[in-house]
């Protein structure tokens, strides 16, 4: 931020010097010195504003954001309760030190480049929406049209509904580590998992699903995925024998059965907007955003389909010739 301010400062100083040189031809007139004085005063005010406030840096950021969102990109829309791991999921795929391109109190988006094909080194721009998750309206009524596209012309290619095994817990305003979460989950395990499941069931209900799909739907939508996060926590407590009858061999099946009702609700909502002319893939992905298990695979599957569809759309139609 400071470097950007210095750059703006230098540009303004240079412009001021150029203006003075150009106006020097009028020094002989009565108004020449007055005009130069006014100009220098105005420039000094502009410099002061640029150095002491975020006005110019925010202007540059806004222009960059506008430009960024106009490019073709594979766009992901993540929906899920607060603490389910949406942001961690994004950072796991893009890199832990990635920062949002734009952030408000409720809504943010991330952007980057990802390889579609390592062999050909083909890349695609990606944009991912994120929000706090305390209220569904944050990612529906208050969602940014610049990220989603204008109503009636939405640009979203994939919707990920994110659920998890255990909530985010904090101590002294800091989230518990994975080890601390495992210790917490190791006692009264099934009851705690069931309570978290009920929270997701209250959040992802058919009425809300209808609103979500009404918010994001267009023929650009290619994929809907139910993402079951924090499988690493479940694997750990299963290994400790905290859930009778469940072993490492069937832990994924257990996780999927937990969220079967949500899966059916999402699938049915997806089926209602699917037509013979517009097929939407539906997947269930079991991941760990914390350690990266199956995260890249989940996103890359969508990215490859987006690239294939985009490639087919860009191919010119062959003209039929009469026999």
Predicted pLDDT at 312: 75
Predicted pLDDT at 59: 46
Question: How much is the pTM?
Answer: 0.77
Superfamily of domain 72-314: P-loop containing nucleotide triphosphate hydrolases (3.40.50.300)
Predicted pLDDT at 10: 57
CA separation (Å) from 207 to 159, 196, 213? 17, 20, 10
Q: Given phi > 0 = left and psi -120 to 50 = alpha, else beta, which region is 209?
A: alpha
* H/E segment holding residue 193: helix 189-203
Predicted pLDDT at 292: 94
Exposed, middle or buried by CB within 10 Å (0-12, 13-18, 19+), for 38?
exposed
Q: Which stretches in the chain have pLDDT values below 50?
A: 1-3, 57-65, 320-323
Q: Give the model confidence (pLDDT) of 92-138 as tens digits.
A: 999 867 676 555 566 788 888 998 877 778 889 999 988 877 777 77
Predicted pLDDT at 239: 97
Predicted pLDDT at 68: 54
Predicted pLDDT at 108: 82
Predicted pLDDT at 121: 80
Distance CA(154)–CA(213), nearest Å, equals 11
CA neighbours closer than 13 Å in the CB half-sphere of residue 190 = 7
Predicted pLDDT at 132: 75
Predicted pLDDT at 42: 61
Predicted pLDDT at 64: 47
Predicted pLDDT at 271: 93
What CA dihedral angle connects 68, 69, 73 and 77, to 10 degrees? 130
Q: Given phi > 0 = left and psi -120 to 50 = alpha, else beta, which region is 110?
A: beta
Burial code of 149-174, b = ≥16 C-beta within 10 A, e = fewer? beeeebbbbbbbbbbbbbbeeeeeee
Q: Under a CB-based contact definition with an 8 Å cutoff, are residues 113 and 72 in contact?
A: no
Distance CA(13)–CA(51), nearest Å, equals 12
């Amino acid at each position: 931020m400071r470097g950007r301010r210095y750059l703006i400062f230098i540009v303004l100083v240079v412009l001021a010097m150029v203006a003075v040189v150009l106006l020097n031809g009028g020094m002989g007139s009565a108004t020449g010195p007055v005009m130069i004085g006014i100009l220098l005063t105005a420039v000094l005010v502009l410099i002061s504003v640029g150095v002491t406030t975020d006005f110019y840096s925010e202007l540059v950021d806004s222009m960059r954001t506008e430009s960024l969102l106009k490019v073709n990109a594979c766009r992901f829309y993540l929906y899920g309760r607060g603490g389910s791991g949406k942001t961690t999921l994004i950072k796991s795929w893009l890199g832990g030190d990635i920062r949002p391109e734009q952030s408000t109190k409720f809504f943010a988006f991330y952007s980057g480049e990802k390889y579609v094909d390592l062999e050909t080194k083909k890349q695609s721009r990606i944009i991912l929406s994120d929000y706090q998750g305390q209220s569904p309206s944050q990612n529906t009524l208050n969602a940014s049209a610049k990220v989603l596209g204008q109503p009636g012309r939405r640009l979203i290619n994939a919707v990920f509904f994110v659920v998890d095994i255990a909530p985010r817990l904090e101590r002294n305003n800091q989230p518990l580590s994975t080890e601390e979460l495992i210790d917490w989950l190791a006692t009264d395990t099934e009851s705690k998992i069931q309570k978290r499941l009920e929270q997701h069931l209250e959040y992802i209900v058919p009425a809300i699903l209808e609103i979500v799909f009404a918010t994001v739907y267009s023929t650009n939508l290619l994929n809907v995925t139910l993402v079951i996060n924090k499988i690493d926590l479940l694997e750990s407590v299963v290994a400790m024998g905290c859930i009778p009858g469940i072993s490492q061999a069937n832990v994924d099946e257990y996780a999927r059965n937990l969220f079967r009702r949500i899966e059916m609700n999402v699938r049915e909502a997806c089926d209602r907007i699917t037509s013979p002319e517009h097929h939407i893939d539906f997947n269930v992905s079991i991941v760990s955003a914390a350690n990266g298990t199956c995260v890249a695979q989940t996103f890359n599957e969508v990215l490859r389909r987006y690239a294939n569809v985009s490639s087919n759309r860009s191919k010119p139609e062959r003209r039929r010739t009469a026999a």
